[in-house]
Structure 1
């Protein structure tokens, strides 16, 4: 009777959660169809604390020849009572068993953000003797941008204690043995690790309903359960890997930005690195990120060999606060590319850096898709002009690969000799090597744009030349919405007729003012009397 009563309570709770999952669906017909599907597969949703694994696929731990690694218990006397409660809970749920294994990994408790604790086992020594699985994991940034290719509906599922649902092969259970102050235990199920979320994305609601049915059927066949409070169904905006994704744009998650804003000024090398790391995911949204962060990089790069030499001075403090200010003042979003319209990559290189912006003309407007900028190494600074300009193209292609592979590309450059890079052999080994490396991309043509109009990529490549000339190898990209509404002055929207003059116009009020460029050659090389005030030296 007690078991039957508990099951009724659980079913009632699941029903409540299923009703909550569809409450944000605005269309009544969509809501009705979705709820009917959820009720059909209600047995794959579970709200109990723990569940014994019923999946018919056991996990095998293959190891190289070895002697069993064994460690002593990790001392945490102030947390022994909490750990004992975890052990008893796991034993009652059937997740672990007492063991006499020769293996012994130390178990520890790690405090979570809400001040509760997470039970963790340090399997470093077991991992060292485990035969690695080389199956490729998806690239996180590629996955993020894949979700925005015209998809209107998203669903996200969290597996109920995901890896606890997978049993361990009987012969390998002893390898998972862990030691505590109370004794030795081993897992009957796979210990908690990462990657237990499922994302579904579709172009239409009918497609999405079909995709949901396919996933629910697969989960049901393998006895895998979902955790309803952590699921989202048929939404048009979804939070994923720190980003908020919609059909046509991507933005940083608000709570992630707020967390960065609460970070105090660093006083140690580790704190400075953590601050830069927290911004790493969002550098593509921040204009001039590499240049603004350069003073902090200068300190962290110089003090890596000796942490005691770390110095945080006024210039670093200004950069720290400027980066935070950018998070709350910049329009932090990017566009996704649309199909059947070529992309436009505009690049430039200076004496010390290179940069580029990827755009696409949509309804007569240029939409920003991605920004990239980096400082060149001391060796690269010795390249000739054509080599630097070719390197800028290659680096932008490499950084923006997710966007441009398989799409038609138009390259805009202010270095005229590069216009023939895809048509004839250039007598330069480096340039020819880069030409071969970019053959996999569908390059329609290379168009020359006058330097006075190539203002944004030129700015990205030259910005940090004065103050941080000693920096190198800072491979951080830039991104901004600065020119996202830049109107084209072209008389029509035929992208095949794109020229430098069709993208820029001195009468266009939304165009950034053309920058005054420095001469690429030293003025001393020219006879003073041969240079007029109106000369445009490049």
Structure 2
């Protein structure tokens, strides 16, 4: 790939020189443009047109601009002498450049200081060729003379949007640019016909005798589709455009039975364009067979011409009226109503034929004499300058007579060579545009047998048109298919010969007026391609008309596969529109969904709607073919090969692996056990035949060892062998830990590295590295099952033997009560809801338990609570110790330990909300009924209500009609007639039944819970990371999305023998409560790069403060007066915990205040917390 840095942006070399005189042997003195950003030297094809014997062929090289945009392909070079500076200087031959000679980086480097004999040229006296804005062979040359223009003017002209803009700028900026008589003529012509020669949109409706009819086939129903939904701003824009068309008279309100949906699509300038979906109307329209002209038949009439001008009509369709009887068929639907067109809209299948009929009619006296018309492209040609002036005037008079407007920005005048409908036209010469065959000429020599077989398969399709085809491809088939040895020189010669035969007559057939064309399209990740064939009346291929291939730009690379395949269709139809319009087209694609696109019932994206609007002009039939039968596939592969294997450009100067990385690789190949044998075999130190066969997949180049593998697309991909573990870790670190990679997972890292590197077990090395990456462990959530199996608490054997309790707050203060104490019996599930105050003390709470629970049910043997400060107070512990009641606490930040109380809390809140219909009742007055309702309801875990389980009967509810109990059936129930001994047996049975039901419920819960959890067994000394939900910094510590998910690591200091789900961790000196549930933990793998750990002692903290290596305060627990610090030379997630008082003593006051201010700036939104943190500074 040859890279142009900036064809029109000069780079100074040693001085302010941009242009120098170049004296090459055998040529007149030339103008050379110095461009240090250009990767090669270039010479214009016209300069060396007489030196055919010295030109040499080369493999086609794609030429790209500095931003990667593809420009053209070069396949010739010439070696010339520039005495005394260069004995041989290679120039690539191209017509792309605006200059005679472009001197690239090699010459610029040599001429860092210009030699005295190299003459610097005055920019204002230079003669340059000015090319048209399109990257083609056509050049805009006025009056058959070179244009005199300075380099500064040239750069301004070259940045214009069109050839006419260039002309306009030149005429205004330089009186010497064109011949005065031509300048005066163009000025007078544009002034005389200003109304019909401008760039403004059409602002009036043209009234002429031309009409567009719409004849329909026999059909059963009128096509009518609903309005496509769109954004509100698009609806407003649609109504604005509709109103504009109404004001211009282009459309009118309709009462038609036809209705087509419409959509707004984006134009390149950011504005919106109205597109109407006429697919259903086109499907029932009789196709107009009016013949469009064949360009090959038109061109012979203009071979003697010397001057050419090209006109492009603006919105020509809107300048033709729709027949009045058919206007209702063009109706389209918007949110505000139904409208129909008075003028011919875009998207109708017969619009091109009608337009061509009109053009032939108005230009009939001129056709074949000095005018050629193809739709809205008009070519005017003349033998002399005076004739050309007269012909242009007569053409503009016809346009003015019938109201047609020429678009000023797309017109070209007085050209001696011009591009028209895929041909390059000049005096006495008409040749096919290189784009027809460039898709094949740009092929690179395949680098693998698989690629060669693809080329042979493509070429075999044209074997009938190639004489002695088998003999030409025999060397290629021997090597790629039969695995025979063939010299590379013979392969290259055969391959180049095959390309020549594919791109020259009689392989390419000529289009004909009544031809049916078959187009096969394909798209790869980078490129689109197509093959156009002509079919005979029997449907058999008569040969290939043209090839097509074009690389995608940076925006198109992001298209989804369906749109890329659709883009291939649009591109080939746009490129060969002049040849395909008016003909039946059979289009084959290997993307099946596109075969239904013409009849798709749902609204499409704006982009595809715009494309469908373009497809409406063609008589098109889309068919699906399997990918292996797609002939266009090789045309979409060549660009990738060219980019990958033929790069002539400077590598990026980015030594991120270290300056001596490659030197270290070379030095370690023989010392590494895994690479030694391969390296010695390739350096001829081992010569056995078995080793030679095994070494085919390896290559030694410049002392570096490469593994010749393949990428995912089957293309050859040489990968550098990295020999030692230290170098391998360096490479993995660069592709995983840097700011541009940001710690991807295993697959992204591996697939990124496998393009460039290789070593045995590389996948395992990357997996092990990522497993031990400390930051990955800290920032990535676990995707596997959670830690910690369910271990249900033992079921009590007696009523009220084991109880749980918790507080629910958030109530309005009523009679001094604003909180509810929930007490639940773990066996019978019966609950008491006891109102109390938020400020209740441990002593007051113990009295509540005595009066509301113990008075009715006796002293419990155990109480389970959370770690509220009230339940952990000394008074609470002493009181129940005197009653011989055992106190049990749940694990911190793990409410699932006491799941029963949590479930009761939710049920209580639900019942309280159900009281919303009784708004006249205070919440405190609701509690008795809420408690009754809770205990009265059936509980699935015990298969009865708590009342039945505790009292052995169901109390009469207030909502039951008491008259039911007057009937004997209810009065004489067995339970009312049993004696005391029978009732005791019934109570025992009831307890057994409740226990059995609870055991069954626990078993089911344990089974379902453990399906999605796994056991985590740790030993003393193991390190773990803690999730932020563990709240190790207290409830007041805030997190943002940028903070790590895990912190630590922390060491295990105690294992509980009766509980596998809780461990005691070393959380720092200030924490008394260090028990943590395993669900918040993650086993820590020591990092391979962060080998340092934060300080753990006060002397180490003092040393870190003096070195100012504290990164930041990561969190402050104001309740326990604990501060979390991170350090610059340690992992960012590794936080060390210290008492606030110790930190204030260890650090200089100014440094402590600086860290505190930095932390305070993050929490200024919470004023109370901010003020409390600021108090620490005091």
Rg larger for: 2
Asked if these proteins are the same fold (TM beyond 0.5), I'd say no
Q: TM-score, normalised by structure 2?
A: 0.22
